[in-house]
Amino acid sequence: MEVWITRSIEALIFPPGLNIALGILGLYFLKRRPTTAIGLLSGSLVLLWLLSVPRVADALGNLLEDRYAVLTSERIKKDLPQAIVVIGTGRYDSAPEYGGRDSVSQKELVRLRYAASLYKQNRLPILVSGGSPLDEEEPEAMLMQRFLQEELSVPVRWIEGVSRTTHENARFSQEMLAQSGIERVILIAHAALLPRAVNAFEKAGLKVTPAPVGFNTLGKDFGILPQAYSLQYSVVVLHELLGELWYRLRH
């Protein structure tokens, strides 16, 4: 229930839900307060256009993606991590091509592919983290393990399948790794999502070597025409920036 409430609130405070809400308010005030109505409707359209422009989306993304450089072998040799941690990022529900069984999402494939590459280069054990935030039958971590082992022939040592949030990803992963004496990890997540994850894992007591993946490269088209991908990416960044602030205040 808590997850559903959180997602409902997020749908209203971030575009396009925010724009729809502003538009409805604008229509409500159209006859009573025309000036207010025009302001609300105009603000809704302008905000929607700005966040859909590749240049704006790219500028917002840089606030997060520029935090951590691409992981290098030199950094690994310097930090001496003991394990690789991959946190989940959603699932592909009821995939028809897999007999209606849930599978990993496209974004998750990016993370798992990189985890497999790092494993083959460094032979560090892997932990996958992700539960069932919407009470799905199979934890996300199980989907990740199955993909790595069955399709990439990469072993998974730890499966953390209880967490529902990034904070829980960090806390439960740390507890699991501590049993094996592991304190230093490579943490894999999308570049725009990594800062909040690193903060959570460090506060959980782990020494983190950031491993960003999935950088925004489509935003290099600096046109002024709105693009669906740019809007989607802008919303992700705004969500992360607000989430990062919330985590710092709460934890």
Mean pLDDT of the chain: 91
Higher pLDDT, 250 or 57: 57
In this structure, the answer to whether residues 40 and 78 fall within a common structural domain is no
How remote is the C-alpha of 54 from its chain's centroid? 20
Q: How far apart are CA 100 and CA 95, in angstroms?
A: 5
Least confident interval from 42-56, 128-142, 216-230: 216-230
**Amino acid letter at 192?**
A
Quote the pLDDT of residue 245.
Answer: 81
User: How many domains is the chain partitioned into structurally?
Assistant: 2
In this structure, the answer to whether residues 201 and 119 fall within a common structural domain is yes
Measured N-to-C along each axis, helices 17-28 and 2-13 cross at an angle, to the nearest 10 degrees, of 60
Tokens representing 109 are 């494939």
Q: What angle do CA 57, 58, 60 make, to 5 degrees?
A: 65
Q: How far apart are CA 171 and CA 167, in angstroms?
A: 6
**C-alpha pair distances (Å), 162 with each of 21, 84, 136, 203:** 34, 18, 11, 19
Burial pattern 179-190, b for ≥16 Cβ within 10 A else e, equals eeebeebbbbbb
In this structure, the answer to whether residues 9 and 117 fall within a common structural domain is no
Q: How far apart are CA 205 and CA 230, in angstroms?
A: 35
Domain containing 30 equals 2-64+221-250
In this structure, the answer to whether residues 49 and 141 fall within a common structural domain is no
In this structure, the answer to whether residues 9 and 46 fall within a common structural domain is yes
In this structure, the answer to whether residues 54 and 97 fall within a common structural domain is no
In this structure, the answer to whether residues 38 and 53 fall within a common structural domain is yes
Higher pLDDT, 83 or 216: 83
In this structure, the answer to whether residues 105 and 201 fall within a common structural domain is yes
Q: How far apart are CA 49 and CA 186, in angstroms?
A: 38
190 — phi, psi (to 5°)? -65, 145
In this structure, the answer to whether residues 93 and 176 fall within a common structural domain is yes
Quote the pLDDT of residue 83.
Answer: 98
Closest CA to 48 of 25, 22, 28: 22
Q: How far apart are CA 201 and CA 182, in angstroms?
A: 13
The CATH number of the domain where 170 resides is what? 3.40.50.620
Q: How far apart are CA 237 and CA 251, in angstroms?
A: 20
In this structure, the answer to whether residues 89 and 188 fall within a common structural domain is yes
In this structure, the answer to whether residues 75 and 115 fall within a common structural domain is yes
In this structure, the answer to whether residues 99 and 170 fall within a common structural domain is yes
Q: How far apart are CA 173 and CA 176, in angstroms?
A: 5
What's the pTM value of the predicted model, to 2 decimals? 0.88
Q: What's the burial of 76, exposed, middle or buried (CB within 10 Å: 0-12/13-18/19+)? A: middle
Whether the Cβ atoms of residue 200 and residue 169 lie closer than 8 Å to each other: yes
The pLDDT tens digits for 39-85 are: 999 999 999 999 999 888 888 999 999 999 999 999 999 999 999 99
Tokens representing 203 are 């506060």
The pLDDT tens digits for 10-50 are: 776 788 888 888 889 888 888 889 899 999 999 999 999 99
Q: How far apart are CA 239 and CA 127, in angstroms?
A: 26
